[in-house]
Structure 1
Amino acid sequence: MKILIIEDEAELRETIQKSLLKEKYTVETAHDFTSASDKITMYNYDCILLDIMLPNGNGLDLLKHLKQLGKSENVIIISAKNALDDKLKGLALGADDYLTKPFHIAELTARITAVLRRKYFNGKSEVQLGNCTINIQERTLKVNQHDVHLNRKEFDILNYFSLNKNRLITKSALAEYVWGDHIDQADNFDFIYYQIKNLRKKLEDSNAEMAIETVYGIGYKLIEK
């Protein structure tokens, strides 16, 4: 899952980022209105943590911009402003939740988990594909009730495919989603090929009733057998 933190306070931004990285999320950050606007225009996110008061602009305008782009990212406002009017404005513009500073990181993590469940899994933690059970919260894969060990990137890739079953996923979209900001440092997409190759072998060896098909020259597609 990919999260964008829009927060100008460096210490808080770094604290949230470190905590979410420990939870195995892919995390990107923006420290002001301009950089945040660029990111939400160019990329897609599963959840956005949004401060209202930002250098060069207002977070509520970013919510308006998301709406204009037709994007449905889960947005949790994190702001020191606790006036009812601000909450109502944010929710009316499409925010999914509102957390007033100061807050415990554990509560923020729980809020993120809750909005992601509502969006992708109808409030559940598991996805069932054939004889495969993917537990999003525990980050586990079971085939016929037997555990299949996946490394972090393999699980991230499988999770992304499960959210886009039967849809063509381009190599660039997959790389940007799983590797986030670090993708700019890559010279090619060979690293995706090797992760996909390893993931395929694990699915085949466990007799999983799903497979990753290659659409040559374009990308991949997850199908149920």
Structure 2
Amino acid sequence: MKILLVEDHPELAKSIASYLTQEHYICEVAPTFDEAREKLALFTYDCVLLDIMLPDGNGISLLKLLRKDGVESSVIIISAQNALDFKLTGLSEGADDYITKPFPLPELHARIKAIMRRRSVHKNNIITFQDITADLESLECRVNGKLLNLTRKETNLLLYFINNKGRMLTRQAIAAHLWGDYTDNLDSVDFVYQHVKNLRKKITDAGGKDYISTVYGFGYKLNAADS
């Protein structure tokens, strides 16, 4: 699961991101309104943890923009503002939950899990692409019904390709999706090549077709036609 934490307090952001990473989430941090909006325009997140008071804007305004743009990510407002009108405003604008600072990190984790469980009840957990199926709840991926033995990163990579089928994905975008903000300080993202290579091999070894084409010098694309 991929989470965007919109929080301008460095120590709190570091604490939350570290905790969620230990719980096996991919957690990216955006300390400002503008950076959060940019990330949300480029990437897909399962859940957004949204502070109300940001240095260059208001979290409620960002929430309105998300819902206006049709972004379906779950949203949990995290704020020091405990007034009832703040909570009602956030929930009426499309937030899924509201938690007041300070809060125990296990409580935040429990709320994230509860929201994602509720969401899974109301949507089809199976996504498909040609002869490939993926269960979003169990994270099992199959080719013509045959289970693929994928690592967590390979599973996330395959889901990322399916959700962006037909779009060219750069190596930088893939690295940022799989590893979050940790890729900012890397000199090279050539390691993406090996993960894509392993995923392609496991799909074809299971009898599937190779739908992942290489866009030389840029990245990769999932196409319906054979590569």
TM-score, normalised to structure 2, is: 0.76
Matches of residues 112-127 of structure 1 in structure 2 within 5 Å?
A: 112=116, 114-115=118-119, 117=120, 123-127=123-127
1:160 matched to 2:178? The reply is no
Contact 1:130/1:209, CA 8 A, preserved across alignment: no
Deviation of the 1:158 alpha carbon = 0.8
Checking the alignment, whether the CA contact within 8 Å between 2:37 and 2:62 is kept in structure 1 is no
The answer to whether the 8 Å contact 1:130/1:224 transfers is yes
Partners of 2:2 and 2:27 within 8 A in 1? yes
Change (3 A) 1:84 1:99: same
In 2: Cα distance, 1:73 partner to 1:22 partner? 25
| Cα deviation 1:8-33 (Å, max 9, x = unaligned) | 67887566535533554310235xxx
Report the equivalent of 1:43.
39
TM-score, normalised relative to structure 1: 0.76
1:91: Cα distance to partner? 3.9
* Conserved 8 A contact 2:33-2:59: no
- The answer for unaligned runs of 5 or more in structure 1 is none
CA contact (8 A) 1:132 1:142 kept: yes
CA contact 2:49–2:76 (8 Å) conserved in 1: yes
Is the 8 Å Cα contact of residues 131 and 143 (structure 1) preserved in structure 2? Answer: yes
Q: Contact 1:148–1:206 at 8 Å: present in 2 too?
A: yes
> Could you list the per-position Cα deviations for residues 189-222 of structure 1 after superposition, in whole angstroms to 9, with x for gaps in the alignment?
2111111111110111011246211122222111
The share of aligned pairs that are identical, in percent, is: 41
* RCO comparison, higher one (Cα < 8 Å, 6+): 1
Indicate the RMSD between aligned Cα atoms, in angstroms: 3.2
State the alpha-carbon separation in 1 of the partners of residues 139 and 15 from structure 2.
22
Q: Given the alignment of the two structures, is residue 111 of structure 1 paired with residue 110 of structure 2, yes or no?
A: no
Q: Are 1:20 and 1:109, in contact at CA under 8 Å, matched by a contact in 2?
A: no
Structure 1 residue 176 displacement after superposition: 1.9
SS at match of 1:194: helix
Is 1:76–1:98's contact at 8 Å kept on the other side of the alignment?
A: yes
> Number of aligned pairs?
215
Q: CA deviation at 1:107?
A: 2.9
Q: Unpaired segments of 5 or more residues in structure 2? A: none
